[in-house]
Amino acid sequence: MIIDAHVHMGPGLRNHEEACLFDAYTADELITAMDAAEIDAGIVFAPLWQGGNFFDPSYEKGNEAIYQAAKKYPNRILAYVRINPNFGDEALKELKKCVYDYKFPGIMMHPEWESFAANDLKLLGPIFKIADEQHLPVTFHTGYYPTCEPLLFLALAEAFPKVPIMLKHLGYEYVRDAIVVAQLTKNVFLETAGNSSSADIHACIKEAGADKVVYGSDLPYISPEVVIQKIRLMEDFSEKARANVLGDNIARMHNLI
Amino acid sequence: MIIDSHMHFGPALQYFDDPIGPLMRINTADDLLRVMDNAGIEIAVICPPRWIGGQFFDPNYEKANQAIAAACKSNSDRLIGFGRVNPNWGSEAVEELRRCLGQYGLRGVKLDPEWDSFFATNKGLVHPLMDLAVEHKVPVMFYSGYYPAEPALLIQLALAYPSHPIIMGHMGGRLTSDAVIAARKAPNLILETSGSLYSFSEIIKGLGADRFIFGSGCPFEFPKVQLEKFRRTPHLSAAERTKILSGNAAKLFNLKVPASKP
């Protein structure tokens, strides 16, 4: 089973069309792309909002599009709600709507783009309380100083030890820091999206363990086949280890297996 | 005569909820003037600090700009106000900037690609704001440093507006070498000195003193420290020091100031 832990979909992509490899505006387009890469399911969330024809700073429209898509393809789409924590009560309201009414099974945040520090527990505490109560994993963009280098996530991971936290992009150039954070905690997972090199992915699986690394692509900015191939080719890891990375870890996180 | 071309002022400072926060309390215009007097700064450019979530809500900087306008109105001989908007807000950002430069009479624009999350290379978002600045003949300052506010991303923008002054706030932060490369490519880029951690006399000699304006980044840096750093920068002539501390900024803001010793 292949589950892609990092998939974007929805109208927000309209404002950065030139960056996309293929269309993923609608659920049907997304499923076509997932089928082509033989992806069984994806963790899907809104792409970063930047100004343009489409206005959605607090991601309400982005979340709505993913809700509709998940309704249409319930077995293929794990909808994660994206919020901007700086919006305070408004963000909590959107979070609660998506979690309690729409039954989204996870949360996504981007400290660099949305401009908050990953160790700002005052801002993130109320969000994580809901994640804790509802058993929702939280996935974060990581890799930029000074908002989201991997070490900043340690405080959150320790304050909420039961909430699975995924660090996207393996912490980019701070990949070694990301490995340390994954080793120090039980609930931090490293996610491979973006331009992670094979060597970086290999190091993470080797050092942090195959049960702490999850495959993600960053579709449609990245070709998922390429990332899947990287992991499949790592034949020094067991079949089971690679299966864990490619989907089983996420499946367990969401009680799918 | 000292002009500090990069200070922050506004209500957001009171709500700053970040350990990397203001180093001194600046709640009122009087607080600001006291800090300036204390450091020997006669005139200061003030712009809104970044907005962080919490009790105070101001994502497109409307409240911040009002505070800047009010402070400048009652201290027009000491303060030069810059308006700040979030370009992602599109037409709302354009409207607010029009208000800043028209109704409020502010004399510059501050944009921050890092905190407000946009790329300076995004023409659709940035050019309408640049066009307003051109129309009102006021300089535009970009925060520079952290991704996505690297100096490299200002080159094409500066080349697209070749006769308009664009200030690189903090001169690239840690990316000083990139700031110099960008400044060589685009002659209308002006470097504001607060970001440099190391001695930069070599850079000033290389690019020419005309390309630099003194700024502190106060209250996230001590103006006195920034002044001391500048004073200790070796190999500069008195004329070069005067240009950077006041002459270049005076030209930029059409100030009539007597030339005096720094």
Closest-approach residue (CA) in chain A for B50: A115
Query: How far is residue A173's CA from residue A143's CA, in Å, rounded to a whole number?
Result: 7
Query: How far is residue A58's CA from residue A113's CA, in Å, rounded to a whole number?
Result: 12
From B16's Cα to the closest Cα of chain A, the distance in A is 12
Segments in chain A forming alpha helices (H): 27-36, 60-72, 89-96, 111-114, 121-134, 154-159, 175-184, 198-208, 224-232, 239-243, 249-253
Instruction: Please give the structure tokens belonging to residue A72.
Output: 């249409």
Q: How many domains does chain B have?
A: 1
The residues, ordered by sequence, that sit 6+ positions from B113 with a Cβ below 8 Å of its Cβ are: B119, B120, B142, B143, B148, B149, B153
Q: What is the CATH number of the domain that holds B216?
A: 3.20.20.140
Q: Which amino acid is at A162?
A: K
Q: Report chain A residues whose CB lies below 8 A from the CB of B52.
A: 86, 115-116
Evaluate whether residue B257 is within a structural domain: no
Contact A47, A10 (CB under 8 A): yes
Evaluate whether residue B262 is within a structural domain: no
Asked if A51 and B89 come within 8 Å (Cβ–Cβ), the reply is: yes
Q: Report chain B residues whose CB lies below 8 A from the CB of A50.
A: 88, 117-119, 122, 125
Share of chain B above pLDDT 70, in %: 97
Count other C-beta atoms under 10 Å from residue A74's C-beta.
11
Cα–Cα distances in Å, from A162 out to A44, A148, A176, A186, A250? 22, 21, 24, 9, 15
Residue found by looking up tokens 């070490």 in the block:
A151
Least confident of A48-62, A239-253, B88-102, B194-208: B194-208
At residue B54, the pLDDT reads 87
Q: How far apart are the first and last CA of chain A?
A: 10
At residue B260, the pLDDT reads 53
Evaluate whether residue B259 is within a structural domain: no
At residue B258, the pLDDT reads 58
Share of chain A above pLDDT 70, in %: 100
At residue A191, the pLDDT reads 98
The domains of chain A, with CATH numbers, are: 3-253 (3.20.20.140)
Apex A216 CA angle, A210 and A221, nearest 5: 155
Least confident of A32-46, A206-220, B199-213, B238-252: B199-213
Q: Please state whether A214 falls in left (phi above 0), alpha (psi between -120 and 50) or beta.
A: beta
Mean pLDDT of A100-108: 98
Evaluate whether residue B261 is within a structural domain: no
Mean pLDDT (chain A) is: 95
Asked if A123 and B54 come within 8 Å (Cβ–Cβ), the reply is: yes
Asked if B90 and A145 come within 8 Å (Cβ–Cβ), the reply is: no
Q: Identify the helix (H) or strand (E) that includes residue B93.
A: helix B91-101
Q: Report chain A residues whose CB lies below 8 A from the CB of B125.
A: 50-52
Evaluate whether residue B258 is within a structural domain: no
Apex B143 CA angle, B174 and A117, nearest 5: 75
Query: How far is residue A24's CA from residue A35's CA, in Å, rounded to a whole number?
Result: 13
Evaluate whether residue B129 is within a structural domain: yes
Predicted TM-score (pTM) of this structure: 0.84
Q: Is B227 a residue whose pLDDT tops 90?
A: yes
From B64's Cα to the closest Cα of chain A, the distance in A is 17
Tell me the pLDDT band of B262, cut-offs 50, 70 and 90: very low
Chain A / chain B CB contacts < 8 angstroms = 60
At residue B257, the pLDDT reads 65
Mean pLDDT of B74-82: 97
Asked if A52 and B146 come within 8 Å (Cβ–Cβ), the reply is: no
Range of the domain at B120: 3-252
Evaluate whether residue B260 is within a structural domain: no
Q: Report chain A residues whose CB lies below 8 A from the CB of B91.
A: none
Mean pLDDT (chain B) is: 93
